[in-house]
Each structure stands twice: as structure tokens, then as C-alpha cells.
């Protein structure tokens, strides 16, 4: 069976992406501990990988320059509003997906995996520039030119299966696939319970409402 590396954050998007990927691939999850305030998502990611029957690796990396409300204790996570007008919010982590995909491609090449899956989407999102289809198209070219696999004609696919899905559609897909949403964590805060007011929580609340479902974490 083909192998894939799945970047698993512990959130609903990456969990759905893992369950999509495991239909056709033997999956190994790559989980990042990068000093995020919401460290609970790492525990959630472990649980999700376990329930999916996938091996996983937790990779600790340091971003000492911070530059994001998700990392910097002196910056508050914005609450009560959704990003609009193309404004990139304080929760943007500089070049995060470039960094994560770089590790994912390296892992895939070393492990002999054919693909790297990432749960990015560009419809209901926070205006993050590294979640757009244009970015992934460009990064595929970079990976093709910058790896041994690509230079030998065996490029590693970067797969974004929910890139054009709304949050409601992601909930619908996950429900059909049996994703354990009760084990996912979307909140940007590091508390024991979701805050319910950060942008990620607001997107999630609306998604389950639109899907006519109860969020099992609420």
C-alpha cells in the first residue's frame, strides 16, 4: 500500500484530512510541538492518530522569534471577530506552513512515502497567505526541484483534499468518515475548555450549526 505523511495538528481540519488520506494510504502522522499556547492540541493529535490506527511522531521545534499571538505570551489572542477584508490576523505564525511542509517533505522522502497531506483550506479561513492554493502550487514546484525524489522523476505529492471546502462541508465529510470530533481541539487558547470566542472557535461553532450537528466538545 502507498505511504503518506499527514501533518496532524489536532484540529478538525487535519483530523478530517487524515481520515481522507487513510482510505488510500498507509498513513504516518507528523505532529508539531512548536511552543503553541494551545498545547492541548498535541494531546488531541495523539488520540486522533491512535483512533485512526496510524503511527505518529511528535516533532519539537523552536520558533524563538515568535511573531504571533499563538506563541507570544505578551500578545492576546483576538476574540469575538472574524478576519475580513484580507487583513491577516495576529494569530498568523510567520511561514508556518513553509516550515511544516519542509519537515513533511523531508520525512516523506526519508521514509519512502509518496505524498504529504495537509488540511489547509482557503474558503472559511483567517486570510493566512500560506493556506492559499497559489502557495501550494508554488511549493510543489519547489519540492520537485529541491529534492532527490523530484530530480529523479518521483516527486512527492503535496495533497490538499479540503482546500476548497467550507467548514460546514468539512464537518459533513468528517461525519461520514467517522472522524472523532470529540477528540479534536480548535481553540487558539490553552485552557481546559474551548474559549468559544476566538476566531477558530467561531468558525467551528458556525460550521457545526450549519451542518445541523452538535459539536461534541461543547
Query: CA torsion 66→71→77→78, rounded to 10°?
Result: 40
- Of 204, 202, 162, the closest CA to residue 181 belongs to 204
Cα(187)–Cα(189) distance, integer angstroms:
5
Q: Is the dihedral of CA 58, 63, 69, 75 positive or negative?
A: positive
Q: Using pLDDT thresholds of 50, 70 and 90, give the confidence band for residue 127.
A: confident
Cα(119)–Cα(200) distance, integer angstroms:
14
CATH class of this structure's domain 3-210: alpha beta
Mind listing the pLDDT tens digit for each residue in 172-215?
Answer: 999 999 999 999 999 998 788 999 999 999 999 999 999 999 99
Cα(19)–Cα(22) distance, integer angstroms:
5
Cα(85)–Cα(210) distance, integer angstroms:
23
Q: Rounded mean pLDDT of 103-114?
A: 98
- Domain residue spans of the chain: 3-210
Dihedrals phi, psi of 58, to nearest 5 degrees = -100, 120
Query: Does 138 score more than 90 pLDDT?
Result: yes
Amino acid at each position: 500500500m502507498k505511504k503518506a505523511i499527514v501533518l496532524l495538528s489536532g484540529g478538525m481540519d487535519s483530523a478530517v484530512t487524515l481520515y481522507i488520506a487513510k482510505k488510500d494510504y498507509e498513513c504516518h502522522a507528523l505532529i508539531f510541538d512548536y511552543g503553541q499556547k494551545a498545547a492541548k492540541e498535541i494531546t488531541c493529535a495523539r488520540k486522533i492518530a491512535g483512533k485512526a490506527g496510524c503511527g505518529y511522531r511528535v516533532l519539537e521545534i523552536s520558533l524563538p522569534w515568535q511573531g504571533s499571538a499563538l506563541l507570544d505570551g505578551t500578545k492576546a489572542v483576538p476574540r469575538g471577530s472574524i478576519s475580513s477584508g484580507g487583513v491577516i490576523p495576529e494569530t498568523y505564525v510567520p511561514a508556518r506552513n513553509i516550515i511544516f511542509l519542509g519537515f513533511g517533505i523531508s520525512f516523506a522522502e526519508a521514509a519512502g512515502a509518496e505524498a504529504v497531506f495537509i488540511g489547509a483550506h482557503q474558503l472559511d479561513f483567517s486570510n493566512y497567505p500560506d493556506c492559499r492554493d497559489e502557495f501550494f502550487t508554488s511549493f510543489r514546484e519547489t519540492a520537485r526541484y529541491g529534492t532527490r525524489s523530484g530530480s529523479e522523476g518521483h516527486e512527492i505529492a503535496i495533497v490538499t483534499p479540503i482546500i476548497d471546502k467550507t467548514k460546514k462541508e468539512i464537518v459533513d465529510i468528517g461525519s461520514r468518515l467517522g472522524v472523532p470530533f470529540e477528540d479534536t481541539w480548535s481553540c487558539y487558547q490553552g485552557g481546559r475548555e474551548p474559549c468559544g470566542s476566538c476566531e477558530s472557535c467561531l468558525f467551528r461553532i458556525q460550521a457545526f450549526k450549519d451542518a445541523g450537528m452538535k459539536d461534541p466538545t461543547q
